[in-house]
Amino acid sequence: MILMIDIGNTNVTFGCHDGTRTRFTARMATDRTRTADQYGAEMLQILSLNRTNINDIGDAAISSVVPELTEVLARAAKKITKKEPLVVGPGVKCGLNIKIDNPAQLGADLVCSAVGAAEKYPLPCLILDLGTATKISVLDADGAFLGCSISPGVVISMRALTSGTSLLPSLYFDRPQTAIGTNTVKSMQAGIVLGSAAMLDGMCAKIEKELGRSVSSVVATGGVAERIIPYCDREIIHDPDLIFDGMMSIYKRNRTNRKDKHDDQ
């Protein structure tokens, strides 16, 4: 199995992929003050909770949008696998035709999700990544990455709303019954959940208008996707393992028949 680690601004998501599917996923809080030993110890505990034998983990791959933690998690992964992990980034073969102004600037998470979507779903395709930021990526009919939109994520918006106003309470997601809230909490939940869903529907429609055609599939991933997409009007596929599936494809492109320099030690 391969240890997969996706380092985001809010959470570090990791799990094990057997080459066909993700066996399990778990989340740790992103903490820039933690050491490799601390992250490694927590991952070992979670692996044990999921009844995963570390001797069955042969290598690791990392996607990161937090540069100061990339090396930290790489060292943690190396302590577990005894091998240098594959870090998705410039110079790594991904098989994705990136048509933005500077392809090297495309985040590793967007690269992985695009590779996964291009292999799994009909094209053209829109990828909704609902995490710290809300990102909508566009793949054309040939699987080329055309670009994306980025807006504040649902959790960021909620925190900004509650922290910047004295009378609005903190709340967590709930299922809003109507768009017209009858008290403060219901009104906020309607605005945050239904408003986010409406934004996704609207942005997808605008992107299709720019493309001059309807897309064949829309897929959503990310930590809050399952709480928002049920309220969207259009059909959206929820794929929580999309980034890991793409990362596994990239891993196979770069590490097939790999013999690590540590194997003989």
- Please report which helix (H) or strand (E) contains residue 249, including its range: helix 242-255
Sorted by sequence, the CB contacts under 8 Å of residue 129 that are 6+ apart come out as 109, 110, 113, 135, 136, 137, 220, 221, 222, 225
The catalytic position among 59, 109, 129, 239 is: 109
Question: Can you name the residues that pair with 133 across neighbouring β-strands?
Answer: 152
Question: Can you name the residues that pair with 154 across neighbouring β-strands?
Answer: none
Question: Contact at 8 Å (CB) between 220 and 237?
Answer: yes
DSSP 221-233: ESTTHHHHGGG-S
DSSP structural state of residue 255: H
Burial class (CB in 10 A: 0-12, 13-18, 19+), 243: buried
Helix (H, G, I), strand (E, B) or coil at 239: coil
| Nearest-angstrom CA–CA distance, 93 and 137 | 20
* Side-chain half-sphere CA neighbours of 30 within 13 A: 18
Question: Active site includes 109?
Answer: yes
Active site residues: 109
